[in-house]
Amino acid sequence: MIQAFLIGILFVVGIYFGSFFTLATYRLPKKENITHKHSYCPNCNHKLGMLDLVPVFSFLVLGGKCRYCKHAIGIRYFLFEILTGIVFVLFGLSLKIDIHSLFLEDMIYVILGILYFTSLFILAGIDKEKNQIQKSVIYYQVVVSILYIIYSCTFQKGNVYQYGIYLCIMAFLILYETFSFRKNLKENNMYFILIFILNMVIITKEYIAIMTLLCTILIIGLENMITYWKTRKSQKVVEKQKKTPIIFYISVANIIMLIGNNFIINYMMK
Q: How far apart are CA 115 and CA 109, in angstroms?
A: 10
Q: Establish if 101 belongs to a structural domain.
A: no
Instruction: Tell me: do 82 and 199 sit in the same domain.
Output: no
Q: Domain check: are 172 and 90 in the same one?
A: no
Please give the Cα distance from 73 to 71 (Å, whole number): 6
**Model confidence over 223-264: pLDDT tens digits?**
888 877 877 766 555 555 567 889 999 999 999 999 999 999
Domain span holding position 245: 107-270
62 and 165 assigned to the same domain: no
Locate all alpha helices (DSSP H) within 28-159, ordered by sequence.
Answer: 57-61, 75-94, 104-130, 135-155
Q: Is residue 68 part of a domain?
A: yes
Find the farthest-apart pair of alpha carbons in the chain and give their distance in angstroms, rounded.
62
Which among 37, 64, 94 is the end of a domain? 94
Q: What is the CA radius of gyration of the chain?
A: 20
Do 84 and 168 sit in the same domain of this protein? no
Greater confidence (90 vs 41) lies with 90
Statement to judge: residues 151 and 75 lie in one domain: no
Give domain status of residue 25, yes or no: yes
| 150 and 57 part of one domain | no
Shared domain check, 185 and 260:
yes
Do 40 and 122 have their domain in common?
Answer: no
pLDDT single digits (tens) 101-116:
667 888 899 999 999 9
Residue 212 CA to residue 261 CA, distance in Å, equals 11
Output the pTM of the full model.
0.88
Structure confidence by residue, pLDDT tens digits, 165-213: 999 999 999 888 787 755 555 556 888 999 999 999 999 999 999 999 9
